[in-house]
Amino acid sequence: MITVLPDHIANQIAAGEVIQRPASAVKELLENAVDASATAIQLIINDSGKSLVQVVDNGKGMDEQDARLCFGRHATSKISRIEDLFCIQTMGFRGEALASIAAVAQVELRTRTASSDTGFYIEVENSQLVKATPVAAPQGTSVAMKNLFFNVPARRNFLKSNAAEMRHIIDEFTRVALAFPSISFSLHANNQQLFQLESGTLKQRVVQLMGAAYESRLVTVKEETDYLNIRGFVGKPDTARKTRGEQYFFVNNRFIRSAYLHHAIMSAFQGMLAPDHFPLYVLFIDLDPQQIDINVHPTKQEIKFEDEKIVYAFVQAAVKHALAQFSITPTLDFDLDASIQQLSSVQQPFTEDKRSAAADSSIFRSFTKKNQAHLIQPSGFTAYSPDWTASEPASVTATPLLPSEPDEHPLRVTSLLSGYILYPNRDGLWIIDQQAAHERILYEQLQQSSVEQPVPAQRTLFPITLTLPVADAALLQELLPALNLLGFLLEPVGPGSFTIQATPSDSPSGQEKTIIESLLEEYKHFNSDAGYTIREKLIRSLVKQRRIKSGTLLNEKEMRELVVQLLACQQPGQTPDGRPTYVALSSDYLATLFIR
């Protein structure tokens, strides 16, 4: 039997496409405020948006008629003809956002236009008008979305932890704030001010959002052609981080994701970045709207270019050009485009001043390390780098034999090059996967840490300041207590900043920041695993981070220690995620193989 769905159910279903989580409402409401020509926009959040998302703007406002209409499906003042779709200048245009929000939450709208003395107030719940009345109001609009999904419990249960939802909100806020630096924005969450962004230049906005550390570390990108323009900033290579999250593309001022263009940028940075590091970029590409196919689905952030290859080449060249002007490139042997080789900055003599600046940079360091022939050293200076000695095959050093083993005969091991350890014993032959075994060992060691017995930590020689993008900082904040037991002592010192006071005593010093950044990155992979506690997720992340990789060559002593420790584990046979750590070939099985 076919039945026609009641309106409010149909609306709820349609709303699911547009409003998936509090952050979707944040995006829509901020964009409406921008479209209304606001110069100041406030975002107010309670309970990570689950109980309140409110946007207050000083834009043009709505009169009573528009206020009554705006919650209707396909209510929009922004397009009236189908042709308009192809030259949209505003952010929203499908007239679905407010209707969708009203279908899945309680909404309070307060608005006034410049030409009216009194404002208008409307309350809508479950797509039903609850209240409509004139009211005193400042010019502009305030939309408050309360109790998202109060009428769709299944969706409400689907929402992630407060930290995760807050991160999505900050992501959306950041994107809109980057796209409109001339508008001032503020963000308050649970009555705490997280951001107060004054109107300014794009550079100021980037620094406000990403941290003062970028003040002198941004490289301007700016190229104009008849086909498209690009403008914005990339971070100098030495600011690249192991965690992603500071990479932004905007096409015609709209945030997009593009793995393809990301690749173009990474290739422009080729040879300048430490492995697995990502540079900051905030780039705006402007081109004729006819040349792109915005997927008109409002929540999709993908885009199709008419000619993708041109855009790729252009982005890559623009970033290379910008980096060449930053004048580190001449010492390195990049295959620069001929046009770039002509640039005066590339041809300028390499002065002593620049040399010392370059020597400090990570590009130079990684270059000289990789290619010793190019290492320039003041005379009388002997290089000693713990890194280099560590990369020598460890087996060169003489190793004292272990004292006699608990087993009657000494524990003998041999390695296979591919990261397996052969361990013959009374029962036959074990083939141990060194990486998997180490995962099990680390996992059980970390599990044993407790309040009474935290992982031993060592103080850093000097306090180290770690500054993170706000979303990462929010995540780290949440992890601090659990991290403490695991040997990491960090203290928040202002927005987005922490001092690292101690790290586990077996972790290499000098790499504290990288260790924590890459730990966060590992953690994000587990973050949506609802089944695990924070501590469990952290332990699993630490295991991933610290395990001996298959490619590492172990000496005999190290292999023996690994085997002894594995045998001491409670569940020696499996990694934490259930892969085997060893395969046992019994003597009997070997006999059958050889048809004895």
Q: How many helices (H) and strands (E) does the chain have?
A: 20, 22
Give me the 56-95 binding string for Mg ion, x by CB under 5 A, dash otherwise.
------------------------------------x---
Work out whether 32 is an interface residue with ligand ADP (CB under 6 A): yes
Asked whether position 49 contacts Mg ion by CB under 5 A, the answer is no
Q: Quick one: tokens of 225? A: 């052609």
Does residue 546 interact with ligand ADP by CB under 6 A?
no
- Single out the residue of 26, 33, 53, 56 in contact with ligand ADP (rule: CB under 6 A): 33
Q: What's the closest the beta carbon of residue 265 comes to Mg ion, in angstroms? A: 30
Q: What are the CB-based long-range contacts (under 8 Å, 24+) for 219-223? A: 219/322, 219/323, 219/325, 219/326, 220/322, 221/283, 221/318, 221/319, 221/321, 221/322, 222/318, 222/322, 223/314, 223/317, 223/318, 223/321
Of 323, 359, 362, 346, nearest to 234 (Cα)?
Answer: 323
Binding residue (CB under 6 A) for ligand ADP from 20, 51, 95, 368: 95
φ, ψ of residue 233 to 5 degrees: the values are -140, 150
d(CA 330, CA 324): 7
580 binds ligand ADP (CB under 6 A): no
Q: Is 195 in the site for ligand ADP (CB under 6 A)?
A: no
- Measured N-to-C along each axis, helices 259-268 and 308-325 cross at an angle, to the nearest 10 degrees, of 30
Instruction: For Mg ion, give the closer residue by CB, 66 or 556.
Output: 66
Cα(465)–Cα(211) distance, integer angstroms: 12
By CB under 6 A, name the one of 98, 324, 455, 516 that touches ligand ADP.
Answer: 98
Instruction: State in angstroms the smallest separation of the CB of 132 from ligand ADP.
Output: 15
Contact between 268 and Mg ion per CB under 5 A: no
Beta-carbon contacts of residue 221 (< 8 Å; ≥ 6 apart) = 230, 231, 232, 233, 234, 283, 318, 319, 321, 322
Footprint on residues 133-152 left by ligand ADP (CB under 6 A): 141
> Nearest distance from residue 252's CB to Mg ion, in Å?
16
Taking CB under 5 A as the rule, does residue 298 contact Mg ion?
no
Tokens of 585: 């070939």
Segment contacting ligand ADP (CB under 6 A): 27-35, 124-132, 161-169, 494-502?
Answer: 27-35
Among 15, 23, 25, 36, contact with ligand ADP (rule: CB under 6 A): 36
Instruction: Kindly state the smallest distance separating residue 120's Cβ from ligand ADP, in Å.
Output: 12
**DSSP per residue over 187-198, as a string?**
EEETTEEEEEE-
| Residue 233: CB minimum distance to ligand ADP, A | 29
Our finding on whether 254 is near ligand ADP (CB under 6 A) is no
Minimum distance, C-beta of residue 80 to ligand ADP, in the bound complex (Å): 11
Residue among 245 and 298 whose Cβ is closer to Mg ion: 298
Q: 230: which strand partners?
A: 223, 285
Comparing every residue's Cβ against ligand ADP, the nearest one is 92
* Inter-residue contact 154 to 104 (CB < 8 Å): no
Chain residues in the site for Mg ion (CB under 5 A): 32, 92, 97
